[in-house]
Structure formats: structure tokens, C-alpha cells
Structure 1
Amino acid sequence: MRDVQSAPNGLPPRTPEMLHNIVRKFYRGAVSHYDLIQAKKAEAAAARQECRAGGDDAALKRALHTLFLEFHFYVTCWLKIEQALVRLASQDGRQAAVLERFRPELERHLGVREQLDKTEACVEAQLAHGGPDWPCVQQDEYWFAGIAFTVDEYSLQALHDLYEAIQRARNEVE
């Protein structure tokens, strides 16, 4: 498993322009992935209904596994944005202020990402947390080591806000 805390250490130097391109690339990746995640949530909800009707949760577990892989991509985009922002912050006090302002949201998303590295365990954790009725699917709220999380409008808006703040700080320099 990758050490997220020390990820920027030892990386080659990047210009601010390169770092902003990284932010833009992963922001776009996360945003473009949002609709796919919503479709996978719908598949999980349908699998939950089948599970409740027939009692077998294998299809639901597969659907959650797929959903969590999609979550993993989304929060990995957050990680890449955070890594670029850390490097930008070391060069620019305005970006450092953005990093501090969004620190709680970044930590929340990166905490979920760390758990999602063990996707199968995350699926089993949902059963352990909510029981055989899988309320996490119905409520669209999943548990990752004590963090309630889903990719929803709130998360997407936080991503938009983060990106806009990085862009505003950048434009103040130019």
C-alpha cells in the first residue's frame, strides 16, 4: 500500500503550470466519473431488492464491489489533486490557504480511499455494520473505518469548490 502522507517526497520538481494541469486532469476525471457512479448505485439498489426477495446476497456483494471500485477511482482523483495542491502550497501561500481550508474534506476523501484499497473488506464491512438487510444501499451511506461516505451531490460540490478555490488562487498570481 502506498504511503499517502509521504507521496510528494522524492518526486521530481514540477512547475506550477504542470501541477495545475494535474489538478485539472484529475478534477475532470472525477467529475466525468460521477454519472457512472450513480449508475452503479442503481445497480446495487436493484441487486439489494433481488437479495431481499431471494435471500442470496452474492449479486449484491458483486454490485457493491464494482461500486466501490468506482468510488476508488473517484477518491484517487481527490488524492492526485491533493498531492498537486500540497506541492503548489509549498510554492504559494494562497494555495497553502486553500489546502488548509479544504483539509477536512481532503482528509475525509483520502481516508475513504485508504480503506478502499481493500475493496472486498469494505464490502464485508457494510454487512457487519448494517446487517443482512444492507441498509447502506438503501440509505446511500457506506461505512469506511468509521467514515460515513458516498459519492453524492455534496461530495461533487466539495470537489467543484476545491477546484474553483485552486483556480482563484492561481488567477490572483497571474
Structure 2
Amino acid sequence: MRDVSNRHSGLPPRSPEMLYNVIRKFYRGAVSHYDLIQEKKSDVVAARERSLTTKDDSELRQALHTLFLEFHFYVTCWLQIELALYRLAKQDAAQAVVLAKFQSILERHVAVREQLDQTEACVNQQAVDGEVAWSCVEQDAYWFDGISFTVDQASLNSLHQLFQAIQTAKNEPPLK
């Protein structure tokens, strides 16, 4: 079974053009999902406000669950881009440089993706992390196995930079 930890083993061969198409498709998917994620974050903030009054966190838990499903889609796009870039880097020195440059940000998003496979466990982790229950909502910083993460403008900017670097490297000659 392929999971995040063995994601690079046994990948079927793909043409560079197909890999670039994958990158474009998932880049557009992640970018187009950004505004929806921001709406879901607003829902979470509103649910937290209500939970402070009612002392019932069930609505907040449901809103977080929905938000984390949206995060899952976003970081899955990052995973698919990483897989395509990994294959391109095997064929193209310029793309290998891009992969090396963005390795840490890619790994961070992929690691969060792995955690989000267990969405309910991620929701439960938010309730106990921090000094104040659900402070992650106020801080817009959610915890995924020791990684503080959110889908924010910085993440989106990193995605834009990654895509631009791939596009720029595409115009350089491939490995012979």
C-alpha cells in the first residue's frame, strides 16, 4: 500500500508533459480551494465563540472536522505536486534544483497531509494542545503531530513560488 512514507517507491513512468499537466492541475486545485478554506475558518471562529457561551464544543468540533477535510484537499494537491516534481527531478537537473530548494516546505505540507488522514484524531488533538482549550482557533495555528500549520497567505505564497520555479526551470534544457 502506498502511503506518505513510501510514496516514491514503484511510481509508474510518466512523460514530462504529463507530469507538468499534473502539476498545473493540482496547483490550480489548491489555489481555487483557498477561498473556501478561509470561509470554513470563519465558520470555526464563529463556532468557537458560540461554544464559549454555551460550554458545548460539539458544533466547534464539527466545524473543525469540516475545515480539516478542506485542509486535506489542499495538502493533497501539494502531495501530488511533490510526486510529479520528484519524478521530473529524476529526469531534469533544473527541476532537481527546484525540488531541493522547496524540499522543506513540501515535506511540511506532506507531513500534515499524512496526519489529516485521521481527521477526527486531528480534531481531538486541537482540544488538548495549548494552555486554553481550542486556542488554536484564535491563533489560526493548528497542531498536527508537533507541526503548527494552517492554510494561510504564507502557504499560498509558497505554492505560487513553487509553481513559478517549476515553470521557470521547465524552460531550461533537460538532462541528456
Determine the C-alpha separation between the residues in 1 that align with 2:53 and 2:146: 30
Q: Are the aligned partners of 1:51 and 1:60 in contact in 2 as well (CA < 8 Å)? A: yes
Matched with 1:46 is: 46
1:138 lines up with 2:138 in the alignment: yes
Higher deviation after alignment, 128-137 or 66-75? 128-137
* Displacement after TM superposition at 1:132 (Å): 5.7
TM value normalised by structure 2: 0.95
Matched with 2:37 is: 37
Matched with 1:64 is: 64
2:83 maps to amino acid: Q
* Displacement after TM superposition at 1:5 (Å): 3.7
Matched with 2:6 is: 6
Higher deviation after alignment, 134-143 or 10-19? 10-19
SS state at 1:156 partner: helix
1:116 lines up with 2:116 in the alignment: yes
TM value normalised by structure 1: 0.96
Change (3 A) 1:62 1:131: farther
SS state at 2:109 partner: helix
Matched with 1:95 is: 95
Matched with 1:161 is: 161
Matched with 2:77 is: 77
Determine the C-alpha separation between the residues in 2 that align with 1:35 and 1:2: 30
* Displacement after TM superposition at 1:131 (Å): 5.5
SS state at 2:4 partner: coil
1:24 maps to amino acid: R
Matched with 2:23 is: 23
Determine the C-alpha separation between the residues in 1 that align with 2:173 and 2:90: 15
Q: Are the aligned partners of 1:98 and 1:165 in contact in 2 as well (CA < 8 Å)? A: yes
Determine the C-alpha separation between the residues in 1 that align with 2:135 and 2:5: 33
Identity among equivalent pairs (%): 63
Q: Are the aligned partners of 1:115 and 1:144 in contact in 2 as well (CA < 8 Å)? A: yes
Determine the C-alpha separation between the residues in 2 that align with 1:11 and 1:164: 25
* Displacement after TM superposition at 1:13 (Å): 1.6
* Displacement after TM superposition at 1:114 (Å): 0.7
1:172 lines up with 2:172 in the alignment: yes
* Displacement after TM superposition at 1:173 (Å): 2.9
Q: Are the aligned partners of 2:128 and 2:134 in contact in 1 as well (CA < 8 Å)? A: no
* Structure 2: 5+ residue stretches without partners: none
